[in-house]
Structure 1
Amino acid sequence: MLQHFNQYFQEIGIDPTSCQFIVTISGGIDSIVLADLCKRSGFHFRLAHCNFRLRNEESDRDEAFVRSLAQKLEVPLEVIHFDTSQFAQQNKLSIQEAARVLRYQWFDELKNSGSFDFILLAHHADDNIETALMNFFRGTGLKGLTAIPGGTKEEKRLLRPLLTIRRKEIIEYAHEQGLTWVEDSSNSSVKYTRNYFRHELIPSIQKVFPQVEENLLDNIERFTKIYKLYQQMVADLKDKICEKGENDIRIPIKKLEKYSDTSLIYDIIKDYGFGEKQVPDVQKLLNATSGRFVENENFQVIRHRNWLIIALKTPVTGIIAIDKDQQMVRFPGGMLEFNLLSAGKLKLENEANIALLDAKHIEYPLVLRKWKTGDYFYPLGMTKKKKVSRFFIDQKLSRNVKENTWILESGKKIIWVVGMRIDERFKIIPTTRNVLKINLTNP
């Protein structure tokens, strides 16, 4: 066991004797064996224990046991207390999931402290078997079938050196070394998903397939290798079809259409916080009109002509500067498309969402912003200026519409109350040679 343990670090290219470790310790047999292996290997480490306050006196017993163990091993100990039940209720999580979230949030805090190199977790091969099965039934896809990551020095500094060791080997080692540990009474309760798989489902499957655990471990290894190859191929494909701009990602629709029946769309959008449930909506954009988009809290995927564009959403309170070369601008009211046309080839359009302006009067950069009190312009067809607020009254606009109206400026002059009326001073006339056409697409 000790040789296998130290070989793990050699395989991932880490010299453990030059590292500082945190060993997560519950008091159960798995983490006790992990701590013992670290001590026998001469590692520099300290223990970290979470008291989730879920089992009353038993939780306090575990903490006391771990404190005693730390003194025996002569290593430092860090302890944190959680009100797990309250956290689960506030965040609408199961107790198991709440404990997991709290635990890993703390690990992140420990990581960010910079006082150590790696966190060691005591997950073993039987945990991996159960995780792979649970992920299969949850429908988590190929990545889920790789189960628990073993960890590398490049990945989050979370390492699991016991992940290929069976639980029966851990028990044998503990008895051989005369180790003591505490039992978590909740481990026998099948109301928890993992315990149901451990105590009922897997034993039932073993009656039909006695080698099911060994077969699953073999499959995990296969799926892990397949997933690594898949990741590399997807990364190469994304590099080929995704064009990175300064502030966005542009994807030619014709190229993406070839892969619309694969997982490529998901693998592209997941990097921007989108989930699998939004893939069908993005697929619809491939056949949508320009200006349609799908969004989440931070990003939008926009159909713009022959492209899909992934970009950060514009802040609602923002003031947007528009340069002469820009052809498209997103904002909370939709999207503006800009085209410079010859007046001789112009087809006149009398639509509120289209502004036709004499290009010779336009000064750049244009400014797109929410209207404010005191704004005025010369509404098309009028020779006198009018306050925008008065214009709204004349148009009998609702408060909601008024609050969400934007204006477009050129040289500190309003040229368009967006989606409503252009300014008389910028209209096209018989001598106009070039026309700036602006098209508003609503969200």
Structure 2
Amino acid sequence: MELEKQAYDFIKQCQLYKAQTNVLVACSGGIDSMVLLDYLVAQKQRLNLTSVAAVHVNHMLRGKESDEDAAFVEAYCEARGIQLFLKAIPIPALVAKEQGNVEAIARRERYRFFEEVMHKEHFATLSLAHHADDQIENVIMALAKGLQQGTQGMPVRRALGNAELVRPFLSSTRQQIENYAAKHQLVYREDSTNNSDEYVRNRLRHHVVPLLRAENPNIAEAVRVFTEQRQQDEAYFQMMAQQVYDEIVILRENNLIDVDVKRFQLQPVALQRRIIQLLLKYLYKDRTIIQSYTLLNRVLDIAKSNVGNELLTLPEGYQIRRNYDKFVIEMAVKTQAEAFSANIQLNEWLTVPNQMRVCVRLISNDLFVENAQTYYANRSDLGQLLQIRTKKDGDRMRPLGMSGTKKVSRIFIDAKIPDTARETWPLLVNEHGDILAVIGLRMSTSFSKTRRATDDVAVMIAPTTYNV
């Protein structure tokens, strides 16, 4: 089936566009988004759309290539009279300032601009060009990593602020998109990294998906049905969990929460997990926190335990007190900070103070962990024994990007870290006492943000509230 019919039938089946809708298309300049833009412009009258415009973000991550992508999209839209909203965002500068994850920061800034444009220009719908093969890859990656949430795949539609995000190509294959581009002689930009097997997604695309398609030529439709059913099942479980949550959870002032343990323990495990997720989402509603599998299980264990009294420390100053028939989530009483010290074991995550986790891992091609800061080094430059400890008077380090040394206390001051947090802030040191990192703030000159030929280990830093 050709893309024109496949996409049109899917759009109508899912009722993705209301009549007289203003549609904004996220356009990177690659084949998928260029085909989507061309398709929606061509089908505007048939779909009864008021207008179709494009939005492009130059992340400034690939230097000249990024600028050429932006210029290409701008020239294409100008030649065809398509309204374009274009913005260059210095993602490298933001990453350096925040010491955060490149992909996460780029996504945050991109969607912030999308929502800004939609609000100011009154667009009801943002259209993305994700297709059926993208969905297959996402599900396989989630299965490989054991991420249950990811097996639901990407939704066909979801809320985006006061507007909506839709994926009209989610039932169309990459081959159908390529055929459309060839048929209509569309020009598009090629990402130089797409052919490399260095990345997990590319390896799946080049080797795994073709094998699945050979076994089942209709694999795209099979995965579409699978993810749709997973999303429907999850919606039902969430509804049931919310009902029980409302019955057994009492929300008090100052984020104090009482939970009826006996009634909680009567629920199926599937609902127990989701009730805990609702609790954590309520507690951290003003934070961009993703609940981790480890944190979820720790809370679940104390809720299911038959021990009379227990205490569990949560991120950001909260704690759970288990008192026989109920447990209470509350702010922990502040006490004088105690020194922290722990050895780092290779390839194992270590939870450290200030709601972070650290892992020193031998380099492999599967290193990427979303929302984790990753730095590369040669193991011989780090030392034989790595340890996490809290600060001592007189601590100094050689920060990455500087030629000399700097007091750790000055690093805290520059980062505006509160005095109370400095006392428990984790430092990465070796057996010689050299400070290799102020975790989450600065790394030493032993590290690089990009992998060098001699690098054989990577240090990853992630929030404790993220499933790694």
Amino acid aligned to 2:234: Y
1:128 to 135, 140, 146: 135
TM-score normalized by structure 1?
0.62
**How far off is 1:23 after superposition?**
0.9
Instruction: Report the equivalent of 1:145.
Output: 151
Amino acid aligned to 1:80: K
- Higher gyration radius (CA): 1
Amino acid aligned to 1:165: S
Instruction: Report the equivalent of 1:33.
Output: 35
| CA 224–250 in structure 1, closer or farther in 2 if over 3 Å, else same | same
Instruction: Report the equivalent of 2:26.
Output: 24
Q: How does 1:382-393 map to 2 (within 5 A)?
A: none
Range 224-233 or range 80-89, more displaced: 80-89
> Does the Cα contact within 8 Å between 1:252 and 1:306 map onto a contact in 2?
yes
Give the whole-Å Cα distance in 1 for the aligned partners of 2:158 and 2:172.
17
1:45 to 37, 40, 52: 52
TM-score normalized by structure 2?
0.59
| CA displacement 1:25-47 (0-9 Å, x = unmatched) | 01111111111122121431321
Instruction: Report the equivalent of 2:302.
Output: 284
Q: How does 1:351-366 map to 2 (within 5 A)?
A: none
Q: How does 1:342-357 map to 2 (within 5 A)?
A: none
3-state SS in 2 of match to 1:188 = coil
2:84 to 77, 85, 89: 77
2:184 to 159, 171, 177: 177
Instruction: Report the equivalent of 1:268.
Output: 278
> Does the Cα contact within 8 Å between 1:265 and 1:279 map onto a contact in 2?
no
**How far off is 1:333 after superposition?**
5.8
- Larger relative CO (CA 8 A, sep 6+): 1 or 2? 2
Instruction: Report the equivalent of 2:259.
Output: 251
Q: Structure 1: where are the runs of 5+ without partners?
A: 314-329, 335-399, 401-443
> Does the Cα contact within 8 Å between 1:53 and 1:81 map onto a contact in 2?
yes
Give the whole-Å Cα distance in 2 for the aligned partners of 1:302 and 1:116.
48
Range 40-49 or range 63-72, more displaced: 40-49
> Does the Cα contact within 8 Å between 2:7 and 2:169 map onto a contact in 1?
yes
Give the whole-Å Cα distance in 2 for the aligned partners of 1:9 and 1:187.
28
**How far off is 1:278 after superposition?**
1.6
Instruction: Report the equivalent of 1:295.
Output: 314
3-state SS in 2 of match to 1:22 = strand
> Does the Cα contact within 8 Å between 2:132 and 2:220 map onto a contact in 1?
no
RMSD of Structure 2 on Structure 1 (CA): 3.4
3-state SS in 2 of match to 1:54 = coil
Count of residue pairs brought into register by the alignment: 318
**How far off is 1:193 after superposition?**
2.7
| CA 180–115 in structure 1, closer or farther in 2 if over 3 Å, else same | same
Instruction: Report the equivalent of 1:306.
Output: 325
**How far off is 1:118 after superposition?**
1.9
2:207 to 200, 209, 231: 200
Amino acid aligned to 1:18: Q
> Does the Cα contact within 8 Å between 2:16 and 2:166 map onto a contact in 1?
no
> Does the Cα contact within 8 Å between 1:242 and 1:251 map onto a contact in 2?
yes
| CA 110–193 in structure 1, closer or farther in 2 if over 3 Å, else same | farther
Give the whole-Å Cα distance in 2 for the aligned partners of 1:178 and 1:122.
18
**How far off is 1:131 after superposition?**
0.9
1:237 to 233, 239, 244: 244
